[in-house]
Amino acid sequence: MYRLALWKNDKLSNKSISTIKQTDVAQWRDARIASGTSGSTVKKDLALLSHVFTIAVKEWGFPLTNPVAMIRKPKSNQSRDRRLQPGEEELILSNCSHEMKAFITLAIETAMRRGEIVNLQRSWIKGRVAYLPDTKNGTPRAVPLSTTAIAAINTLPLRLDGKLFEYKEDHYSKAFLRACRQAGIEDIHVHDLRHEATSRLFEKGLDVMQVKSITGHKSLQMLSRYTHLKADDLAGLLG
C-alpha cells in the first residue's frame, strides 16, 4: 500500500499510460536514488510499475511497450548481516518498557515478523504453538513457542480486544531504536531481530526445512538472506 501511494503521488500518475516513455522512468529512477533511497527499494518500486504495464498489455489488450523493461535497474544493496553482539540484548532490554521487553523477546525467540507479533491474538495460542491465520505470504503458519517465549507472553496483561500488544507496528520500531540509542548501540533495527532469531534456530541444531517451517520463508534463497551464522560456532561444529 505504501508503494502504491508513492506512485499515486508522483507526477507520472497524471500522465496517460500510453505516453510514459523509458526516459520518464529513467529520470524517476535517478531522482529516487539521488534522494538517498536504496537500490533494493527502487527496484521494488519499479517492479510494481512494471506489473501495471504487464497487466495492461496481457490482460487489457493495450498496444504498449513496457518502459520499465527498457531501462537499467539499480543494483540491490548488500543484505544486512547485523547480529546482536554479546551483551547487547541485555543492554537493550534494560532500556525497554515492560511491554517492549516482551515484544523483543518474542521476536528473538520465534523469528516472527513485526506485524505478526503486533497482531498476535491470545486465542491463537494453543499450548506451546501460535497459530497465525494470515501472514505476509498469504498463508497460515504454526509457530512453536519456546519456554522463554511463553514466559514473555505470560507477563502481558489480558486485554479486552484479545490482542497481546497495545500499539501499532511503528510504535515498536521507534521504541526499539530509542532503547538502542539509550544503550549506546548503533546500526540495528527491529527487522534485524528476525535475522538474529533465524540464525539462532540453526545454531540450536534445526535443519533447513524445520527453520523454513518456523520462519515462513517461501524459498531457501530468501531464507539464506536472513541467516548469518557465527563463524566461531561453525568452527566448533567442525571439531
Per-residue pLDDT of 75-114, as tens digits, reads: 876 667 788 999 999 999 999 999 999 999 999 999 999 9
Strand partners, 132: 141
Identify which has the larger pLDDT, 1 or 129. Answer: 129
Q: Which of 113, 141, 200, 212 is catalytic?
A: 113
In the residue annotation, 194 being an active-site residue is answered as yes
What is the pLDDT of the chain when averaged over all its residues?
89
User: For strand 129-132 and strand 141-144, is the pairing parallel, antiparallel, or unpaired?
Assistant: antiparallel
Helix, strand, or coil here: 208? helix
Is the pLDDT at 231 greater than 70, yes or no? no
Is the pLDDT at 230 greater than 70, yes or no? no
pLDDT, residue 235, reads 64
Which amino acid is residue 142, in one-letter code?
A
CA distance 45 to 89: 34
pTM given for the model: 0.71
- pLDDT band, very low/low/confident/very high, at 237 (cuts 50, 70, 90): low
Which amino acid is residue 185, in one-letter code?
I
In the residue annotation, 226 being an active-site residue is answered as yes
Q: Which residues contact residue 84 at a Cβ distance below 8 angstroms, ignoring those fewer than 6 apart?
A: 188, 196
pLDDT, residue 136, reads 75
Is the pLDDT at 215 greater than 80, yes or no? yes
CA distance 213 to 198: 11
In the residue annotation, 51 being an active-site residue is answered as no
As a whole number, mean pLDDT of residues 216-230 equals 69
In the residue annotation, 191 being an active-site residue is answered as yes
- pLDDT band, very low/low/confident/very high, at 134 (cuts 50, 70, 90): confident
Q: Which of 136, 159, 178, 204 is catalytic?
A: 136
- pLDDT band, very low/low/confident/very high, at 223 (cuts 50, 70, 90): confident
The three three-digit cell numbers of residue 67, written as one number: 518502459
Is the pLDDT at 45 greater than 80, yes or no? yes
pLDDT, residue 52, reads 94
Domains within the chain, CATH numbers bracketed:
2-70 (no CATH), 88-238 (1.10.443.10)
In the residue annotation, 217 being an active-site residue is answered as yes
- pLDDT band, very low/low/confident/very high, at 213 (cuts 50, 70, 90): confident
Residue position matching grid coordinates 538472506: 225
Q: Which of 29, 195, 200, 217 is catalytic?
A: 217
Strand partners, 141: 132
Q: Which of 194, 200, 212, 228 is catalytic?
A: 194
**Percent of the chain scored above 70 by pLDDT?**
92
pLDDT, residue 97, reads 94
